[in-house]
Structure 1
Amino acid sequence: MTHEPDAVLVIVPAWNESRNVGNTVREIISSSAAYHVAVIDDGSVDDTGDVARAAGATVLRLPFNLGVGGAMRTGFTYAQRKGYRRVIQVDADGQHNPADIDRVLAGLETADISIGARFSDVGDYKVKGPRRWAMVVLARIVSRVAKTSLTDVTSGFRAANEKAIAQYVSYYPAEYLGDTLDSLVVACHAGLSVTQVPVAMRPRAHGNPSQGPVGSTIYLARSVMALGLAVLRRPRHASRSEETA
């Protein structure tokens, strides 16, 4: 271990976020000396990595774009190798407020995975139309899998303890929505516990959301399909136990 035992690794996956990532890193670092920031530069073609490094982050650069799933698995592997016992994901675009990191981390006192939920009567975050319908359906299904009430299973603002870090290093999907839905379902299948805490989201600092009405409709169909595959996927630990039975 190369750091103090209570240190927290804040993983920031970033793809072409040079306009946002510097301020995000500075905000995180100024929030607590215990927060160590690792920016996963996911094959950016701008100067995301240089900006993040100048702001004080450790930068792990991927040679090409792997998506959030690939970036996060890289971050979890780094966390495990460096001996971090707690990890939290914070998006590079400024929507996740570093002031809420402690709140999300506190959820790890009772669970292996803690989600910063956007729909828990805190803040004014609003989603309408097909995207909102998808989020409601997905939350209900995953709540059954997790055996606890969840309202925001697609939130990327989530923390993991040492047990969850090991699970994510072993398996962290890279396909569509794998970083949120699939990773959560597989973790539940592996026996990990999940909780959520209310957080308020902020507007994206720079750039525009990637989905309009058409994109939201496509999101609805793809997310339901992704969750169906995740729920039906045969848990690896179950297969091993059957082989030894």
Structure 2
Amino acid sequence: MTGEFPKTLVIIPALNEQDSIAHVIGLIREYAPWADIAVINDGSTDDTAKIAASCGAFVLNLPHNVGIGAAVQTGFLYAERCDYEITVQNDGDGQHDPREIPLLVRELLSSGADLVIGSRYIEDRGYVTPLPRRVGIVLLANVISAITRHKFTDPTSGFRASNRRTIRLCARAYPHDYPEPEAVVLLHRAGLSLREIPVTMNPRYGGRSSITPFKSGLYMVKVLLAICIDLLRAPLRPDEV
């Protein structure tokens, strides 16, 4: 433990984020100086890995682009192997605000939750989501809230903090296709405690988003189907994986 906070790893999955990765790492160093940083380089073809290493982050280079789910799971595997007590997932594009990492971790510690999700929608903080994507997120949030019988507003948010129980489970059984919303269902069914807190989301610091209205709609359809399939499987337990 370092002062107020236990041993913490910030996991940054990154694909071609050379324009923003140094900025993100710099903010984490400033606002969460007690935390270690692992950049999971998901087959980038630019200088993401080189820049991240030059900024002092530990870089795990995947052999090719395996996708966000497998990249994040790699971070959980590393965290478990190195005996981290807490992980924080933080995107490499600058949208997640590292100033709020202490808020996520404090909520995790004080609430007794196993996972704390930073939600863009609990409070109106000026973040604008394109209408097709916002409609899809609301639909998905309502479905997941009904399944879990717990109110969720932003199950697609990747800005989240996890404790040892969540790290252990996600290191062994993390969804690869639609990881954020599927993980909410998986962890709830495993008996873990989840909660949301309001956070601020920024515009991308660099690069361009690949999300289009068509892709947003297709994503929501596919993730709902994936969750339906997940519900047909027996729930996992942290002591069984």
TM-score by shorter chain over 0.5: yes
Report the counterpart of residue 118 of structure 2 in structure 1. 116
Gaps (5+ residues) in structure 1? 241-245
**2:87 pairs with 1:87:** yes
Give the counterpart letter for 1:212 in structure 2.
T
Give me the whole-angstrom Cα distance separating, in 2, the residues matched to 1:219 and 1:184. 16
Q: CA deviation at 1:145?
A: 3.3
8 Å CA contact 2:18–2:48 kept in 1: the answer is yes
Cα offsets for 1:85-108 (capped at 9, x unmatched): 110100000000000111112231
Return the offset for 1:219.
2.5
| 1:173 counterpart SS class | coil
2:156 maps to 1:154:
yes
1:140 to 139, 142, 154: 142
Q: How does 1:64-213 map to 2 (within 5 A)?
A: 64-108=64-108, 109-110=110-111, 111-175=113-177, 177=178, 179-213=179-213
Contact 2:117 2:160 in 1 (8 A): yes
2 CA distance for matches of 1:164 and 1:145?
Answer: 19
The one-letter code of the counterpart of 1:47 is D
Return the alpha-carbon distance in structure 2 between the equivalents of residues 186 and 69 of structure 1: 13
Displacement of 1:157 after TM fit? 0.2
**What code does the residue aligned with 2:16 have?**
N
Q: Conserved in 1, the CA contact under 8 Å of 2:14 and 2:92?
A: yes
Q: What code does the residue aligned with 2:143 have?
A: I
Q: CA deviation at 1:122?
A: 4.0
Residue aligning to 2:229:
229
Q: Which amino acid aligns with 1:58?
A: F
Partners of 1:115 and 1:197 within 8 A in 2: yes
1:243 counterpart residue number: none
Contact 1:8 1:84 in 2 (8 A): yes
Which residue of the partner structure matches residue 53 of structure 1?
53
Matched residues in 2 for 1:182 and 1:221: separation? 13
Q: Residues 122 and 100 from structure 1, CA distance in 2 versus in 1: closer, same or farther, beyond 3 angstroms?
A: farther
Q: Is the 8 A contact 1:120 1:151 kept in 2?
A: yes
After superposition, give the CA deviation of every residue in 1:174-213 in whole Å (9 maximum; x if it has no partner): 12x1x20122211111100100000010000112221222
Report how many residues are paired: 234
Secondary structure at the aligned position of 2:147 is classed as helix
Aligned 8 A contact 2:145 2:152 in 1: yes
Cα RMSD of the aligned pairs, angstroms, is 1.7
Q: 1:231 to 1:147 in 2, by over 3 A?
A: same
Q: Secondary structure at the match of 1:73?
A: helix
**Matched residue type, 2:94:** G
Structure 2 CA distance for partners of 1:46 and 1:199, relative to 1, 3 Å: same
One-letter identity of the residue aligned with 1:224: L
Partner of 1:6: 6
Q: Segments of 4+ in structure 1 off by > 6 A? A: none
TM-score normalized by the length of structure 2 = 0.91
For 2:211 and 2:172, how far apart are their aligned partners in 1?
31
| TM-score (ref. length: structure 1) | 0.90
Letter in 2 for 1:197: I
**Residue 8 of structure 1: how far off its partner (Å):** 1.2
